[in-house]
Structure 1
Amino acid sequence: MFGLIGHSSNFEEARQKARDLGYEEYADGDLDMWCSAPPQIVETLSITSATGQTIEGSYIDSCFVPEMLSRFKTATRKVQNAMELAQKQDIAITALGGFTSIIFENFDLSKFQQIRSTTLEWERFTTGNTHTAWVICQQVEINAPLLGIDLSTAKVAVVGATGDIGSGVCRWLQQKTGVGELLLVARHQQRLLDLQTSLGGGRILALEEALPEADVVVWVASLPQSLTIDRESLKKPCLMIDGGYPKNLDSKVAGTGIYVLKGGIVEFFSNIDWKMMAVADMENPQRQMFACFAEAILLEFEGWHTNFSWGRNRISIDSMQTIGQASMRHGFKPLGLNPATLPLLASTAH
């Protein structure tokens, strides 16, 4: 059995979800009450692969909302409690979705293996970052040519390059895709220098320097609400892959000649009978999901009950290829640009 640990995108959405599920006490509760609320298994489901194999899974709502991020102890406790619940349900492999994986990594929760009387077994959990990185790279390779962008000569900026997903994306784009030039953007200068050394290339730039040069921008960092981007300074056409969380890049830059694609999203080959993606702003919630969730599903299909994605900067080309092949085999494909816009794209690419 696989597990998916997620959360609502904001407090009001969480209260509405609770009301829809019949948890009136949560729907009427304030944020303080939600801070003490335990995780809940809110949905169980079956998924059938393109190969015909069927597996069972559960969706666990951590009862975390982003408004809790400023409360360190609350945020970490929410993630740990959800992981404990998954293990107590004997779920073989569980993906940490949304902010839960970010909290786990940024606060280094792997140091805290003991949760009350439970010793967490790390092999039961994955961040899903390897599949996410592979999907984002496929989104670049498939969609950039639709805009007339030749990746062999293109400049590709990776914003959040030193993160787990970002570093994996950089390695793939350099070694497998063969992009013209990588522009490396991140907050920590030493980590950027270390990444540049490991890659044997790439140019380190500040965000405001990289954006006007880039034909493709891969965002794998959270976008500050206060960030402003000068659309007129961007190249046209320009492909932007919004791989951060939450996905709000389109509200800042989308416009003529600038095409924003939700990064790290996959589409399954058939409908899935579930409700959880309906509140995740998916255009086709019966088929689309976060690639990190799909990684747990793939690991269950393959019987790979291990922490396939774990820690920082451990994503390899080989592991991306392995999970990518499994993804295609079982019926997933990366989300692409809307086909209805392709004639327009062709005309603006010249």
Structure 2
Amino acid sequence: MFGLIGHSTSFEAARRKANELGFDHIADGDLDVWCSAPPQLVEHVEVTSPAGVTIQGAYIDSCFVPEMLSRFKTARRKVLNAMELAQKKGINITALGGFTSIIFENFNLLQHRTVRSTTLDWQRFTTGNTHTAWVIARQVENNAPLVGIDLAKAKVAVVGATGDIGSAVCRWLSARTGVGELLLVARQQQPLVDLQQELGGGRIMTLEDALPEADVVVWVASMPKTLEIDQASLRQPCLMIDGGYPKNLDSKVSGGGTYVLKGGIVEFFQDIGWSMMELAEMDKPQRQMFACFAEAMLLEFEQCHTNFSWGRNNISLEKMDFIGAASVRHGFSTLNLQSQVQHAAA
């Protein structure tokens, strides 16, 4: 069985969903009540791939909401409690979705293996970052030509280049895609220098300097709400892949020759009988999901019960090849721009 640990996009969205599910005792509570609410296994699902493999899964709502991010101990407890519930339910492989994987990495939850009487088995959990990185890289390859960008000559800026997903995207674009030039953007200088040496190329730049030069911008870092982008300074056309969380790039730039695509999202080949993807505000919640969630499904399809994506900067090209092949084999496709491009052409 695979598991997905997720959460609502906001406190108000969480309260609405709790009302729909009949959890009146917390739906009407304030944020303090939600901070103490335990995780809930809210849905079971059965999924069959085109390869004829059928698997069972469960969705666990961590009862975390983004408004809790400033409460360090609460955020940490929410994720660990959800992981404990998944393990107690006997789930073989569980993906940490949304902010839960960010909390796990940034708050170093590896130091907190014991939750009450349960010792967490790390082999049962994955961040899903390998599949996310592969999907984002493929979205660059698939969609740049649709808007008239020749990747062999293009400058591709990766914002958040030194993170787990960002560094993997850089490795793929450098070794497999062969882009014209990588523009490496991140907050800390030394990790950028280390990445540049590993790649054997790429130009370290500030965000302000990189944006006007880039034909493609891959965002794999959360975007500050205060960030403003001068759309007139961007190249035309410009493809922007919004691979951060939450996905709010389209509120900063859109239209004209700038194409914004939600990054790290896949679509299954047929409807899945679940309701929880509505929380993630997917355009097609019966088919679309975050690639990190799909990684748990793929590992269950493949009977590969291991922490496939674990730790920072451990994503190899070989792992991306494996999970990418499994993604195609089991009926997933990357989210693409066709509808936007067709609309612009009309």
Q: Which residue of 2 aligns with 1:33?
A: 33
Q: Which residue of 2 aligns with 1:279?
A: 279
Q: Which residue of 1 aligns with 2:21?
A: 21
Q: Given the superposition, is the C-alpha separation of residues 85 and 15 from structure 1 closer, same or farther in structure 2, using an over 3 Å criterion?
A: same
Kept after mapping to 1: 8 A contact 2:146/2:338: no
Q: Which residue of 1 aligns with 2:49?
A: 49
Instruction: Show structure 1 runs of 5+ residues with no match.
Output: none
Does 1:206 find its partner at 2:206? yes
Does 1:251 find its partner at 2:246? no
CA distance in 2, matches of 1:57, 1:42: 11
CA distance in 2, matches of 1:261, 1:135: 12
Kept after mapping to 2: 8 A contact 1:146/1:342: no
1:236 partner SS: coil
CA distance in 2, matches of 1:340, 1:79: 36
Q: Which residue of 1 aligns with 2:225?
A: 225
1:111 Cα deviation after fit: 1.5
Does 1:90 find its partner at 2:114? no
- The aligned runs of 1:316-331 (5 Å cut-off) are 316-331=316-331
Does 1:138 find its partner at 2:130? no
Q: Given the superposition, is the C-alpha separation of residues 81 and 147 from structure 1 closer, same or farther in structure 2, using an over 3 Å criterion?
A: same
- The aligned runs of 1:73-152 (5 Å cut-off) are 73-152=73-152
Q: Given the superposition, is the C-alpha separation of residues 181 and 45 from structure 1 closer, same or farther in structure 2, using an over 3 Å criterion?
A: same
1:309 Cα deviation after fit: 0.2
What letter corresponds to residue 49 of structure 1 in structure 2?
A: S
1:46 partner SS: strand
CA distance in 2, matches of 1:71, 1:307: 27
What is the aligned-residue identity percentage? Answer: 72
1:194 partner SS: helix
What letter corresponds to residue 256 of structure 1 in structure 2?
A: G
Calculate the aligned-residue CA RMSD, in Å. 1.0
Q: Which residue of 2 aligns with 1:180?
A: 180
- The aligned runs of 1:299-314 (5 Å cut-off) are 299-314=299-314
Give the TM-score of the pair, scaled to structure 2.
Answer: 0.99
CA distance in 2, matches of 1:110, 1:202: 32
1:281 Cα deviation after fit: 1.3
1:279 Cα deviation after fit: 2.1
Kept after mapping to 2: 8 A contact 1:171/1:317: yes
Once structures 1 and 2 are overlaid, which stretch shifts more, 187-196 or 125-134? 187-196
CA distance in 1, matches of 2:21, 2:338: 33
Kept after mapping to 2: 8 A contact 1:237/1:257: yes
1:341 Cα deviation after fit: 2.9
Map Cα deviations across residues 280-324 of structure 1 (whole Å, 9 max, x no partner).
111111100000000000000000000000000000000000000
Structure 1 runs of 4+ aligned residues shifted over 6 Å read: none
Give the TM-score of the pair, scaled to structure 1.
Answer: 0.98
Instruction: Show structure 2 runs of 5+ residues with no match.
Output: none
Map Cα deviations across residues 97-149 of structure 1 (whole Å, 9 max, x no partner).
00000000011111211111111000000000000000000000000001110
Map Cα deviations across residues 159-207 of structure 1 (whole Å, 9 max, x no partner).
0000000000000000000000000001111111111111111101000
1:339 Cα deviation after fit: 3.0
What letter corresponds to residue 278 of structure 1 in structure 2?
A: E
CA distance in 2, matches of 1:55, 1:90: 14
2:212 partner SS: helix
Map Cα deviations across residues 194-227 of structure 1 (whole Å, 9 max, x no partner).
1111111110100010000000000000011100
Aligned residues: 346
CA distance in 1, matches of 2:341, 2:150: 19
